[in-house]
Amino acid sequence: MDNVTPLGGDVYEIDTRMAGYSGITAGYLILGDRPCLVETGTSTSAPVVRDALASLGVGPDDLATVVVTHIHLDHAGGVGDIAGYFPSAEIVVHEKGARHLADPTRLMASAKMVWGDRLDTLFGTLSPTDASRIRALGDVGTVDLGNGRSLASHYSPGHAKHHVGLLDSLTGDLYVGDAAGVYLPETGDLRPASPPPDFDLEVALRSLGLFEALGPQRLLFSHYGPVDDVPATLERSAEELRVWVDLTRQARSDGLDLDHAVAMVRDRTRERYTALQADPATAERFELLSGAESNVGGIMHWLDRSGA
């Protein structure tokens, strides 16, 4: 299938085609004795993911595990649907996110407040998953991939308080979710992902430090794809966060309201990103995943909360 890319080590990248876009949301299948899907994508992505798994020989009873890095709808919105398609799969998520997968009412209500009318077209609706099928992770945990291979989960808040990174014992791949920001493979751009309500700079930087200490061989971004140059990329993630926080802090101390702060930070960071000088479609995709409004809003929220 044209949305499945082999990455070596029995790992397959699946373009989950959020809202019909290509190249913005990735799920990953780790094949082997106990096939494991990392990230489901949105609810509307679920049939796309099911078909991709079928093309890799993973039928309804074959999927052992579904694990999500966090419960934002672009990563976990399809959990309920995928759990329905694959009745043998165990659903693995950090303990701070588990109850929202069992009962998505509050999560969907807050997403509706953020996205309004765009919610349905962008994400669809997260369906509930039977609580008995959900396994909650603590600060560390393990997913058995079979044959002595495993994924080790590491609690990595900052972007979201229910975020984990996942390290593959065989390949050294680290699934970074959104904790290292948003990477655009076409341009090599990297932009922070600092949305409200959980973003916290110190916590996010600590998670990046943890990722570095794990010594991964490769980073697998949910947005989007593999990156081999690990230390330089993680350093850049930290630098991006500092730049956005510094500018937002400045806007705030100049007394700008949110709209003006967003405009100022967007303007002052524009030249950092090739995608924003590229065609409007590329710029639009980048903005959808790591919007200046969401990033600056998240940083403002954190500054207000921390009294910094």
Q: Rule CB under 5 A: is residue 198 a binding residue for Zn ion?
A: no
Nearer to Zn ion, 58 or 73 (CB): 73
- Give phi and psi for 6, each to the nearest 5: -70, 135
Any idea which residue has 């967003």 for tokens? 262
Residue showing tokens 């100049």 = 254
Among 46-54, 73-81, 114-122, 276-284, which window interacts with Zn ion (CB under 5 A)? 73-81
Q: Return the number of the residue (56 or 179) whose C-beta is nearest Zn ion.
A: 179
Tell me the window of 42-50, 70-78, 96-104, 200-208 that interacts with Zn ion (CB under 5 A).
70-78
Compute the least distance from the CB of residue 33 to Zn ion, in Å.
Answer: 29
Looking at the Cβ atoms of 127 and 194, the one nearer to Zn ion is 194
Binding to Zn ion by residue 178, rule CB under 5 A?
Answer: yes
Residue with tokens 């419960």: 71
* One residue of 15, 39, 74, 173 binding Zn ion per CB under 5 A: 74
- Least gap, CB of 162 to Zn ion (angstroms): 13
Closest distance of CB 222 from Zn ion, Å: 6
Alpha-carbon span 111 to 305, nearest angstrom: 21
3-state helix, strand, coil in the chain (%, to 5): 45, 20, 35
CB of 25 to Zn ion, least distance (A): 7
Strands in 39-172 per DSSP E: 65-67, 90-94, 134-137, 140-146, 149-155, 164-168
Instruction: Tell me the two tokens of residue 282.
Output: 């590329």
Least Å from the CB of residue 257 to Zn ion: 27
What distance in Å separates the CA atoms of residue 211 and residue 232, rounded to the nearest whole number?
12
Q: Site residues (CB under 5 A) for Zn ion?
A: 74, 178
